[in-house]
Amino acid sequence: MATLEVLERENLGPRALRLGELFRTDLERALVPFEIVKEVRGVGLLCGIEFTAPRRLGLRVFYEAFHQIHPAMFGQMLVMRMFREHGILTQICGNNFMVLKAAPPLVVTEEQLDAFVEAIRSTVELADSSPSFWTEALSLARRAAKI
């Protein structure tokens, strides 16, 4: 009952709806330049960023190698980089390895959401433009395969 009282007293439900709309709008705006981003969607503060295979041949070769190792490798690399480089915990969606799930707490601040948007933008930019993202991931996959 105490939890429900706090949710009601602090208007956390309506706040989550309002902040979630802002969050997705900012994410869409930040990620529109990247061909590997297919869609940003969600309800309230639960947000999914769906990725797709790159069209450019240089990135497509790396992506296909990744996908052959395991369909979840790309998403796991995003999760790893978000945590390692930005201290932000995300997950890949259980039923779709190409969806990165972000579920900030109901008490998240706008500044924290802005930091998330910048962190995911820089991580996606790295995947979209830097062979180092892909070569590090292939190296990690090789090491994991030897276990």
Question: Within a 10 A sphere around the Cβ of 50, how many other Cβ atoms?
Answer: 15
More confident of the two residues 90 and 93: 90
| Residue range 3-46, pLDDT digits in tens | 888 878 888 889 999 999 999 999 999 999 999 999 999 999 99
pLDDT at 49 exceeding the cut of 70: yes
Q: How far apart are CA 27 and CA 41, in angstroms?
A: 10
Residue 1 in tokens: 């009952």
Question: For the chain, which domains are there?
Answer: 2-145 (3.90.1150.10)
Tens digit of each residue's pLDDT (9 = 90 or more) over 100-113: 999 999 889 999 99
Exposure class string for 70-80: b at 16+ Cβ within 10 A, else e: eebbbbbbbbe
pLDDT at 10 (0 to 100): 82
The per-residue pLDDT for range 113-144, each reduced to its tens digit, is 999 999 999 999 998 887 778 777 777 777 76
CB of 46 closer than 8 Å to CB of 38: no
The confidence score (pLDDT) of residue 66 equals 77
Q: What is the pTM of this model?
A: 0.87
